[in-house]
Amino acid sequence: MSYQAPLRDMRFVLHELFDVAGHCERLNNGLDRELIDGVLEEAAAFTGNEIAPLNRNSDEEGCQLENGDVSTPKGFRSAYKQYVDNGWASMTGPIDFGGQGFPQLVSFAFHEMLMGASLSFRVYSGLTEGAVLALDKHGSAELKDAYLAKMVGGQWTGTMCLTEPQAGTDLALLRTRAEPQADGSYKVTGNKIFISGGEQDLSENIVHLVLARLPDAPAGVKGISLLLVPKFIATAEGGLGQRNALSCGAIEHKMGIKGASTCVMNFDGATGWLIGEANQGLACMFTMMNDARFQVGLQGLGLGEAAFQGALRYARERLQSRGLNGAVAPQQAADPIIVHPDVRRMLLTQKTLVEGSRMLAAYTARQLDLEHGAGEATERKAAAKRAALLIPIVKAFFTDMGQEVSSHAVQVYGGHGFIREWGMEQLMRDSRITQLYEGTNGIQALDLIRRKLLGDGGSELNALIDEFAALADRSASQPALAELAGVVSARLQQWRELAAQVITLSQADAEEIGATSVDFLQYSAYVLLAGFWLQAAATAQQALDAGTGEAAFYQAKLHSAAFYLRRVLPRASGHREALLGGAACLMAMPEESFAF
């Protein structure tokens, strides 16, 4: 299958909805509309021409482990070299260490393209950017000087080493230990599993960020430290020095993303250095966690776009039966399946979920930028709160969406969708991991309720609702938007009331947090996307009224908004009814009654 970056829709989101040029001017980073469009065009060419052709082969070939060395699929090494040489690796890195400092509102579009072209390829560079964030914020000057420039440039990559066989979500159970040495370093010993890019042949060095316990550490998560443990220890001149005492013991044989090496890493007294304060490892790691979870959300978005493109292309070409009201293409033996209502249902569901998620991704990226780059401290704090509220929704909903949209693609292809050569089943397999790593989607839902909603009594959520309610009020007076605005307004009020009910339920019984969380996250996401579709419709109607051209594009936005509000948004009602069903029906049955 092929992949083509959705440049027109990306420009609509960036320029027409979120004024990315004005955003960049506000951040004082020197980017203007012409430069941004040029970057997007180059990104589209690179991902479509160089990366996408590798995706099928990487799935067939996978990675190979021999004598501790991992070889990546054919073409990955040369493509990664081009990725580094062309400056893509340094796109978001700090300027002080050779990065280009691009804001998230621009870079997210490129990263979506990478995910859509080949998720396996993107895995290798994705965590490096998060590792750079953590090291830049918490590392000592000596560590930053020794490692950051090469990591920013992409010559060296980074990993996150959290998970152990007995410690997944519950990091309080981890056993990897770090023994202090006289020279200020530590000897790190333990085993980590599921380490993306833990060993590979793309970069000169791999810098592992490892969670471990010091000898005198308190029990639980309060006794976890973060250490930098490189494959090769950097020399004083910034080159490659001694090989460290760590190795790849195995690579996992996985359901999907087979071109990405997922490693078992053994640390056998490996030399490492503390990042941040002792026993503050989780706080340091969470610097990169928001970025990592946002990036995983983009994985779902990119895969969803690729699946939609494949399904649309096939639906236009595949001839099968006649339209229900008679022949649409009488000159052909049968009509293309895109004329059939059920195929249209699947395609429009794909299109509206993907494009709606892209709008939410851009909005979240803007908050992440302002969290770090806004001029006023109060504005930075407000953006941080908004980003924190949205990240679990983005991670969970986008990845659920990617799985649904790729499943629709398989269905549109019919029997051919089940066959490997068409590429749809690979997208479905690849997308499945996104619902699991960087915190399962159930964990994201718990985070949304426990830390975000209960954490401030719903004040930030209500502020977000107020923002969209104001949009609905402004749109209600416009005849072309009045119906959509009315539906959105009603849903927003229902969302506000539902949040209050969830808070009350959760405060009365802690098990209600887990019982309501997934459905509340899904409800929230569907209503959020409805708000963005109203914004898109208002922007499209304004363009049509002004006669700015591209009438078909803007009419499609209005049609898509109408479809979403009539055929997708009603799903929210089911989630509301389910969560109000309460915890009792989940917890009442004795465990032994589950037996068969």
Characterize the bridge pairing of strands 240-243 and 232-234: antiparallel
Q: Which residues contact 182 (CB under 8 A, 6 or more apart)?
A: none
CA distance 75 to 71: 11
If we measure between CA atoms, which residue out of 205, 47, 39, 59 comes closest to residue 128?
205
71: nearest Cα among 228, 202, 224, 241: 202
**Which 3 state secondary structure label does DSSP give 250?**
strand
Fill in the amino acid letter for 333: A
d(CA 531, CA 529): 5
- The answer to whether the Cα torsion of 431, 70, 127, 451 is positive or negative is positive
Say if CB 179 and CB 105 are below 8 A apart: no
Q: CA-based angle 239:122:205, to the nearest 5?
A: 15
Spatial CB neighbours of 595, under 8 Å, sequence gap ≥ 6: none
**Which residue from 537, 559, 420, 388 is spatially nearest to 475, judged by alpha carbons?**
537
Determine the Cα angle at 217 with ends 211 and 223, to 5°. 50
From the list 242, 235, 237, 178, the residue with the least C-alpha distance to 212 is 178
Q: Are 75 and 56 in contact (CB under 8 A)?
A: no
Q: Give the C-alpha separation, 142 to 539, whole Å.
A: 50
Other CB atoms within a 10 A radius of the CB of residue 202 amount to 22
Q: State the catalytic residue, choosing from 438, 460, 550, 577.
A: 438
Residue 438 annotated among the catalytic residues of the structure: yes
Q: Which sign does the torsion angle of CA 531, 537, 542, 548 carry?
A: positive
Structural contact between residues 43 and 223, judged by C-beta atoms closer than 8 angstroms = no
Cα angle 392-127-69, degrees, rounded to a multiple of 5: 140
Crossing angle (nearest 10°) for helices 104-117 and 119-138? 150
Question: Would you say 161 and 97 are in contact if contact means Cβ atoms under 8 Å apart?
Answer: no
**Sequence-ordered alpha helix ranges (H) in 139-249:** 141-153
**Pairing of the two strands 246-251 and 240-243:** unpaired
Residue 132: both structure tokens together? 């750079």
Between CA 590 and CA 275 the distance in angstroms is 46
Distances (CA, A) of 163 to 62, 209, 211, 384, 590: 22, 12, 9, 27, 31
Q: Catalytic site residues?
A: 438
